[in-house]
Chain A
Amino acid sequence: MRIVDGETIISALARLIGELVVDPPSLRDTAFCAPDLTGAEREAAAILDENLRIARAERRPLCQDCGMVQVWVKKGKFASFSGASTLRPLIDEAVRRAYRDGGLRCSMVKDPFDRKNSGDNTPASIHIEELDGADLEFTVLLKGGGSENVSRVAMLPPSAGRAGVADIVLSALREAGGSGCPPYHVAIGVGGSFDTVATLAKQALLFDRGDDPELRDLILRRVPELGYGIAGFPGVRPVTAVRVATAPTHIAMLPVAVLLNCHAFRRGGVSL
């Protein structure tokens, strides 16, 4: 059994979050301006490029919504850790340090109805995947509320097929418009069940899943019908990328999850 020091986990995750807020590896090669953009969409693209530059140069958060922290852990059966009996307190302590001590915006409320802020951006959303071996890997996504709010799950009949799935994706994108900060990273889960399909979409986003290129291409062909672009302004770039993950499902079902991520795609990982 390999034992990873708990403090090492906390400090590595806190450091990773601090980096994702200002200069995530997932945006290092991003440029929003492109020759085919015109008018208001071009103005918005130039502002987003300037935003990336300022965030990097001045170490300012890219977005005031510093996100809900979503952590996906891949834990080998021969890997364990010290400092706590489960990973939850270690991960939440990392979140606490990164946000409360790092001057980041804390956006979590303790109760969905009384809406009182937890004050340290905890709890993180945690998913633990068990694997063979002795690796311990953390993939972290900082997810803003605007784009999470325009995501959706639908339970389709199997007869709907790829065309029906594409309809749901296009309708989610149409309704999202400029509200969730396009250009969107679209992540689609297909299959599983009501609860697992949303997790599947998240896996597509976290691990660049490219299942079913036929569905991806069908969606990309239909993107121009949306008619809007960056910032929701009339234009041509509502979508940056489409990622798809599929899984086995029931004979009666075709579950679909459409997870939209804003242009501030803040994803990174650490292996300990």
Chain B
Amino acid sequence: MRKIPVADLDALRSVKMGEFVALEGVLLAMRDRTLARLAELKKNGEPLPVPLAGRVVFFAGPTPGLADGRGAVGPTTSRRMAAYLPFLCDTGPVAIIGKGLFDEKDAERLRSCNILYLQAIGGAGAYYGARAGGVGAVAFEEYGPEALFELTVHDFVVMMTLDGAGAAWR
């Protein structure tokens, strides 16, 4: 299995649909409430706490124990975030990680704004938790598990679902 540094955008874009790869680097973990807040900030023309351009967004909310090496983290349902895809298209992350497929029209939107989609295995929280080296809330700590986190990962196994050539797994 290829190891792909998440900061290496060309390497990420070279991964083919259906390929399993091991990600290395720092992900931006967020879910429902942070996405709603970020989209609102963007709409009002206010600055985001962290720029998303070129980053890898992971739809997830970790357990608190992750910081002490005994926690869990894993993907949450991607299609629930469909409402925030226009926002994500506007802010330019290179890729999204989540679980499950997007509807065809949402996959088309991702394709049109060059965002890759990778799936992690849903419900494998201990497995991914053991591959997450560090976690810290970088904004919206008051949202608890729905805060915006930076998550350092190694050997983080995901499958390319919508690749750089626009090929989508169905």
Q: Is B93 an interface residue (CB 8 A)?
A: no
A48 to B79, CA, bound (A): 22
Q: Is A61 an interface residue (CB 8 A)?
A: yes
Q: Does the CB pair A179–B62 fall under 8 Å?
A: no
A261 to B79, CA, bound (A): 18
Known: A47-B127, A103-B70, A178-B119. A232 touches B77 (CB 8 A): no
Chain A positions 61 through 72: 1 when the CB is less than 8 Å from some CB of chain B, otherwise 0 = 111111000000
Which chain A positions have C-beta within 8 A of B68?
Answer: 103
Q: Is A246 an interface residue (CB 8 A)?
A: no
A59 to B125, CA, bound (A): 12
Q: Does the CB pair B123–A48 fall under 8 Å?
A: yes
Q: Is B113 an interface residue (CB 8 A)?
A: no
Q: Does the CB pair A61–B130 fall under 8 Å?
A: no
Q: Does the CB pair B63–A51 fall under 8 Å?
A: no
29 pairs of residues in contact across A and B, judged by CB atoms under 8 Å:
A40-B18, A40-B159, A44-B121, A47-B124, A47-B127, A51-B126, A51-B127, A54-B126, A54-B127, A55-B72, A58-B70, A61-B63, A61-B71, A61-B125, A61-B126, A62-B72, A62-B125, A62-B126, A63-B74, A65-B76, A103-B65, A103-B70, A105-B72, A146-B76, A146-B77, A149-B80, A180-B77, A232-B119, A264-B123
Chain A positions 249 through 266: 1 when the CB is less than 8 Å from some CB of chain B, otherwise 0 = 000000000000011100
Count of A-B contacts with CB under 8 A? 145
Which chain A positions have C-beta within 8 A of B78?
Answer: 179
Which chain A positions have C-beta within 8 A of B20?
Answer: 40, 43
Known: A58-B70, A177-B100. A119 touches B144 (CB 8 A): yes
Q: Does the CB pair B101–A177 fall under 8 Å?
A: yes
Q: Is B24 an interface residue (CB 8 A)?
A: no
Which chain B positions have C-beta within 8 A of A51?
Answer: 121, 123-127
Which chain B positions have C-beta within 8 A of A215?
Answer: none
Q: Is B122 an interface residue (CB 8 A)?
A: yes
Q: Which of B50-82 contact A (CB under 8 A)?
A: 60-65, 68, 70-74, 76-80
A264 to B20, CA, bound (A): 23
CB distance from B146 to the nearest CB of A (A): 7
Which chain A positions have C-beta within 8 A of B129?
Answer: 54, 60-61, 64
Count class of interface residues, chain B: 35 or more
Cβ contact of A103, chosen from B63, B126, B146, B159, cutoff 8 A: B63
A52 to B130, CA, bound (A): 12
User: Apart from A58-B130, A179-B122, what are 6 other A-B pairs with CB-CB below 8 Å?
Assistant: A50-B127, A61-B65, A64-B72, A146-B77, A149-B77, A264-B123
Which chain A positions have C-beta within 8 A of B79?
Answer: 179
Which chain B positions have C-beta within 8 A of A231?
Answer: 99, 119, 121-122
Q: Does the CB pair A178–B124 fall under 8 Å?
A: no
Q: Does the CB pair A178–B101 fall under 8 Å?
A: yes
Which chain A positions have C-beta within 8 A of B122?
Answer: 146, 178-181, 231-232, 262
Q: Does the CB pair A105–B127 fall under 8 Å?
A: no
Q: Does the CB pair A48–B124 fall under 8 Å?
A: yes
Known: A178-B122, A179-B77, A179-B99. A60 touches B70 (CB 8 A): yes
Q: Is B143 an interface residue (CB 8 A)?
A: yes
CB distance from A26 to the nearest CB of B (A): 14
Which chain A positions have C-beta within 8 A of B127?
Answer: 47-48, 50-51, 54
Q: Does the CB pair B143–A117 fall under 8 Å?
A: yes
Q: Which residue of A lies closest to B170 (CB)?
A: A234
Known: A115-B33, A179-B99. A104 touches B124 (CB 8 A): no
Q: Is B157 an interface residue (CB 8 A)?
A: yes
